[in-house]
Structure 1
Amino acid sequence: MQKRQHSYWLLCAAHCIDLIFEDIRKDKNVKIIVERAQAVTRYIYGHPRILNMFRELASRGRDIIRARPTRFASNFISLESLHKFKNELKSFMYHKTLRAYIDKGSAKSQMDYLECCHVIEEKEFWDRVARYLKVGTPLVKVLRMVDGDDKNDMGYLYEAMDRAKMELQQSLPRDYKKWWKIINHRWENTLHHDLHAAGYFPNPRLMYADNAHVDSEVLHGTLNVIGRLSNDTREKVEGRASKGCI
């Protein structure tokens, strides 16, 4: 980096957001929810015959678990999918075809079936899942943006993270600060970079929006990039002047 002083080195944004999900998953209540949800999916996907019946009788060929490139976000996306299949799961667990198959099984398989039914029938479990989805859904939107190929995310990431936090605040007005603290820790120490602010500043799609804002963080980040990329003092002064800072 000393030889290339005008260059920048940034961490993968998708990986950093995945680490935010990892930090969120460390929360005691979230950990319990994820583990109980995984018990349901393990039961269904751990028995090929039951999985085939689920696809035929309940999901119309759709799967609960879908492959995703990021590890911890995959847990959330699978939980989101499980929640979408809530009604189908309840109907499936008491379908006569499945019950007939379970009745012929061993005592252990019947016990596993009852434990799975207990989770699926528990209202508190689904309420907690829905609450956790309010935390993760805004971040998944950002993850899909930075992990896609439709546009360069450098000029959008700064705004996308702000928007995600605002959406989280609106969804959980009582305890959003708890989750903001986790997000801010990764954002400030791992993900955020001057280039994100500099990418936001000249983006006409954002800067000419009705709710556009330019705070000190954006200005400082933009000026830092100008100073680093400029070849001489004159360019730096002209760059600052063009931003209306001097």
Structure 2
Amino acid sequence: MNKRPKTSSGERVHLSSSMDMSSASQLEQSKPLMEADVQFDSWAEKAMRNFIFEVGLGPRFVYLTSFKEMLQTVHNRDVEIPTYESMLREELKETQHRAMQLKQEWKKSGCSIIMDSWKSRCGTKSFISVLVHCSKGMYFLRSIDVSGILEDMDELASVFSRVVDDVGACNIVQVIRNDASPHMRMAWHYVQKEHDHSFFVPPCADFCINLLLEKIAAFDHVSEVLRKAKEITRFIYGNVLAYELVGRYIDDGEILSNSCLKSVAEFITLDRLVSVKENLVEMFSSPEWVSSDRSTRMFNPLDWISSGFSTTTSLFRHICGIVKTDGAFWCAAADVLKITKPFIDVLLKLESEDCPMGILYDTMASAKDIMHNLGDKYGDILHWVDEIWYGYLHSPLHAAGHMLNPRVFYKDPSCDDPELSGRIEACTTAIAKGHYDPGRLKAQIEVYKGRSGSFGSDSAIQQIVETPQGLFGGRRMGQTRLSCRASPLGSYAKHALALKDTTSAGRYWRRRMRRGELISKSCTVGWSTPTTTGVLPALHHS
């Protein structure tokens, strides 16, 4: 039996039948095959490199015998095993090429900076990850340790100025942050002033809506509803039998929300609880529950002690009483959801991959209209809605994105109100600096508003009607219908409409949450209790 030759990293593994290449004619005939081999090796190495770096395997991986044997059985031909160094070198080249492409896109159509504030696992160190997002993708710039300068506005401003200089102030449309602390706000205000307010610094939309829901949760009647809802979920998730029965009586077998935002998770969980009320009543009346001693015996003793009940039986009766007979709680919960559901729906729309920037302005306006229609008894809450909207979230970019979405603007006569016009004026003034003549830009906006010229043509109208709202300014549009090369309005449209970064930032943070990259206090504190069954997921929020 012939032994398989040993190979090392970088060697070619010859699997096909050997060929006698002694003669010149045979060598000449083999040249096309050799060229094909080189092309194949390039493809194979790239595929292996992508796999190894994506999985996060260490450098010793390529030297394993099992890895070489795997390659040797892939195909009946020569396979060159790349070294880790060569793969790293090629990956660096591709990364640098990708970075160059992204930076060219920044100059062409603008970009947004994402300032991701986060803490170390032990909570003693504070960092800011700086990312740059444009229509072509995301670019990681650097991570900054700000542990010692969090309350030093001058130092923070100096750090932020360096970030702006590295990206290029003329390329920046907005800087999105998830930290609304006074020092951060003042530092960015100083940097904006330094650059003549040529870009905007809004907070992340998810952060603002979560802050709004946090304010709503602080009202006495709302906090009382949330307290009782937590008692129900803690009981269910702390009792083995109850948790088993939930899987049978509730369709998806889950009540708790896995949102990474604490207040959002609370109200989504409350919504699910109300929607499965009848299922819970049926579950607590079922023969399996009523006839089983496990309903009291298999409950976590630490939970009923912390709840202030002397026995598990008394806690069981209390929870069953809320679920079955406490009509006031269920009515109050339904009233609370009338307030919060419109804002949860805003978040759900923002999570869509084809959500252009102007959607936020439109959906928040609709949510506020729903609040107004509920009556004067929610006046205090409506005050907080306006406080968060105008004090934190509202940016002229949202108004501009709303106006430059023809599917919205041309169908709604109320779009061009004085407030909207004022915001668009601020946006055009800021973004036009250093790019084009503001006067010419304003004149072209008037042409767009009046549907003059090509904007009123049959083909343009047909495109507006047929194109889904979410695609105006979306990535799939590529070039907007306003010619970016022919007029400043086109470039302005790409700046204000095509960038969906306020919501893209939220999706980026949520993806990091799902991967466990941001570790902080649990979203579900107070809503569930740890059990020995190990069935509860580890949920986190920033």
Same fold (TM over 0.5): yes
Corresponding position of 1:17 = 209
Does residue 230 of the first structure (1) align with residue 421 of the second (2)? Answer: no
Q: How many Å separate the matches in 2 of 1:133 and 1:80?
A: 7
Report if aligned partners of 1:197, 1:217 keep a CA contact under 8 Å in 2.
no
| Alpha carbons of structure 1 residues 232 and 3: separation in structure 2 relative to 1, 3 Å | closer
Which amino acid in 1 is paired with 2:345? K
Aligned to 1:79: 270
Contact preservation (8 Å) 1:198, 1:221? yes
Q: Secondary structure at the match of 2:292?
A: helix
Which runs of structure 2 are paired with 1:1-246 in the superposition (5 Å)? 1=191, 2-3=194-195, 5-56=197-248, 58-102=249-293, 105=296, 108-120=311-323, 121-152=325-356, 154-170=357-373, 172-231=374-433, 235-244=437-446
After the TM superposition, list the runs of 4 or more consecutive aligned residues in structure 1 that deviate by more than 6 angstroms: none
CA distance in 1, matches of 2:217, 2:211: 10
Give the unaligned 5+ runs of structure 2.
1-190, 298-309, 448-542
How far is 1:102 from its partner?
A: 4.1
Helix, strand or coil for the counterpart of 2:415? coil
Letter matched to residue 312 of structure 2: S
Select between 31-40 and 226-235 the one with higher mean Cα deviation.
226-235
| TM-superposition CA deviations, 1:87-124 (whole Å, max 9, x none) | 11111112221122247735722111101012112111
Deviations 1:62-97 (A, max 9, x none): 211131122101100000000011111111112221
8 Å contact 2:225–2:333 — kept in the other structure?
A: yes
Aligned length: 242
Structure 1 contact 11–190 (Cα < 8 Å) conserved? yes
RMSD between aligned alpha carbons?
2.2
SS of structure 2 residue aligned to 1:242: helix
Structure 1 residues without counterparts, runs of 5 or longer: none
Residues 5 and 92 of structure 1, relative CA distance in 2, 3 Å threshold: same
Q: Counting strand residues as a fraction of each chain, which structure ranks higher?
A: 2
Give the TM-score normalised by structure 2.
0.42
Kept after mapping to 1: 8 A contact 2:274/2:330: yes
Give the Cα separation in 2 of the matches to 1:32 and 1:104.
26
**How many percent of aligned residue pairs carry the same amino acid?**
23
- Residue by residue over 1:121-180, the C-alpha shift from the partner in whole angstroms, topping out at 9 and shown as x without a partner, is 21111100110110011111111122332322x11111111111112333x124243321
Higher Rg of the two aligned structures: 2
Give the residue type in structure 1 aligned to 2:311. Answer: K
Deviation, structure 1 residue 48: 2.3
Change (3 A) 1:85 1:31: same
| Stretch deviating more after TM superposition (156-165 or 94-103) | 94-103
